[in-house]
Chain A
């Protein structure tokens, strides 16, 4: 609904914004009324954050802005000009390898249609950031702002618990969501 096609300018309300998106500096000119989600998808071409509800409720557009998870559909891009943005695809290693968390989602079938998955990954990464052990109930509660209409949530909880256990055993791996943690 939101992602179709590049935006054709010029617009009367244009602004120039510069972000560091998954480690890459990107400067674009575009309309000043765009949400961060539309800026990322339509101007930068980073399409892993998804447009779900447009109201900040479903979590499928979740990204990190300067280390804090937000709903990019209800953050005005111009407000966070200059910020460091991390999305789920940024968790991958430079060679495309999966992070520990992504690998756990894969192994536990935590994605069916996959629409909520980038947001789920961002929520999970933010939750596990501080290294404190979370019970399954705590994980469930922390994910209450992320909706999934396929899995019934069980496999997602399994995956996050497994990723947590993996970290506790070995520490977060390089080329993983540690990039987010460091942010």
Chain B
């Protein structure tokens, strides 16, 4: 652990953080929970002149407003996994957060940090892509909105400018008739995924009406499985297994975790399982899992979101 020395600077607020980042350009890195950055510093994969501590900025709000769940950039994984508003509004996020690393990682790691780090096998960028989340990025004076699936541009790369930070993520509350599923395969519990799949699916009268299907760890960024999504419209439960195999556009990498061929094979299995699970959840009209047991799908207990079920939940949202 021979870390190349850097200077530590604690940002007092957002504007301060962005200002320090701007003034140092490439030489500065922002640290939130540090659960990816610190391992990279420890192993010498990365060095910097200045480390800007953004973890004391007030960006930890969780709220449900107008049919949207809004999550501050510094909300930690453990909170995503345990907060009932998250579980009730978007159970996919709560479930995915429980799969992140181990308990120690979840106690420190943050949502914004995970998105900005942009590891293609990470859980949260994947579910945000599946859900169609909007990522709010700020340079201290202006906030811009970035579609989650466009945030990452390649392996560990995003379109965030040097002085931009993820300040919040906004996702539509899961509406009536929607089911969800998250599945991943790891070599050992807590490892990086060999393949991961997140599904949101709306059914009526035993047929799929709409589906959003995304996969992680099978490309340079999380990807939407367009072939599967297109094939799902109007599908009955019995047809899901076959439609799950429309993976022609997927070209996974080979690495020390798995070969490309194995990744593609298990991806098909995960998509099939996830579609079936999401379909069954949609049919039952339940949106809770893992003890969340939301009686009614959709809006959480706080705010005025209850009446807006479904309205904010559509293509591209």
Residues of A within 8 A of B (CB): 1-2, 11-13, 15, 31-35, 37-38, 51, 54-57, 59, 62, 68-71, 73-76, 78-79, 123, 126, 141-142, 144-145
Known: A68-B78, A74-B108, A79-B55. 9 other contacts (CB 8 A): A13-B5, A35-B42, A37-B1, A54-B1, A54-B39, A55-B42, A70-B107, A74-B42, A76-B34
- Pair B8/A55 contact, Cβ less than 8 Å: no
Given contacts A2-B1, A68-B107, A70-B108, contact A76 B38 (CB under 8 A): yes
Chain B contact residues, CB within 8 Å of chain A: 1, 3-8, 10, 31, 34-35, 38-39, 41-43, 51, 53, 55, 78, 101-105, 107-108, 188-190
The 4 closest A-B pairs by CB, nearest first: A145-B102, A32-B8, A74-B38, A55-B39
User: Which of the residues B38, B78, B101 comes within 8 Å of A35, measured between beta carbons?
Assistant: B38
Contact of B39 among A13, A33, A56, A126 (CB under 8 A): A56
**Interface contact B53-A75, CB-CB below 8 Å:** no
Instruction: Across the interface, name the chain A residue whose C-beta is closest to B31.
Output: A76
Cα distance, A180 to B133, chains bound together (Å): 38
Chain B residue numbers with a CB within 8 Å of A54 are: 1, 39, 42-43
Tell me whether B104 and A71 are in contact (CB under 8 A).
yes
Residues of chain A with a CB closer than 8 A to B78's CB: 68
Q: Please indicate the chain B residues that have their CB under 8 angstroms from the CB of A141 in the complex.
A: 189
CB-defined contacts of B189 to chain A, threshold 8 Å: 141, 144
Question: Which residue of chain B has its CB nearest to the CB of A32?
Answer: B8
> Closest chain B residue to A61 by CB distance?
B104
Query: In angstroms, how far is the closest chain A Cβ from the Cβ of B164?
Result: 21
Contact of A69 among B1, B5, B107, B190 (CB under 8 A): B107
Q: How many whole Å from B216's CB to the nearest CB in chain A?
A: 19
Within 8 Å by CB of B103, from A37, A38, A74, A123, lies A123
Q: When the two chains form their complex, are residues A56 and B55 in contact, meaning their CB atoms are under 8 A apart?
A: no
Return the contact of B51 from the options A33, A38, A73 (Cβ within 8 A). Answer: A33
A56 touches B190 (CB 8 A): no
Q: How far is the CB of B10 from chain A (nearest CB, A)?
A: 7
Q: Is the CB of B38 within 8 A of A12?
A: no
- What residues of A have a CB within 8 angstroms of the CB of B10 in the complex? 78-79
A69 pairs with B104, CB closer than 8 A: yes
- Decide: A76 and B42 in contact? CB cutoff 8 A: no
Q: Name which residue of chain B comes closest to A127, CB basis.
A: B103
B108 and A75 within 8 A (CB): yes
A68 CA / B79 CA spacing, docked (Å): 12
A98 vs B24: C-alpha distance when bound (angstroms)? 50
Q: Is the CB of A71 within 8 A of B105?
A: yes
Using Cβ atoms and an 8 Å threshold, which residues of chain B touch A56? 35, 38-39, 101-102, 104-105
Give the distance to chain A from B150, nearest Cβ to Cβ, in Å. Answer: 29
Q: With both chains docked as a complex, state the minimum distance between the C-beta of A4 and any C-beta of chain B, in angstroms.
A: 11
Chain B residue numbers with a CB within 8 Å of A79 are 10, 31, 34, 53, 55
A72 CB to nearest chain B CB (Å): 9
Residue on B nearest A126 in the bound complex, by CB = B103
Bound Cα distance from A132 to B51, whole angstroms = 40
* Partner of B5 from A33, A55, A145 at Cβ < 8 Å: A33
Alpha-carbon distance between A141 and B101 when the two chains are bound, in angstroms: 12
Is the Cβ of A33 less than 8 Å from the Cβ of B34?
A: no
Contact A145 B101, CB 8 Å, known A56-B35, A73-B38, A75-B34: yes
* Closest chain B residue to A71, Cβ basis: B104
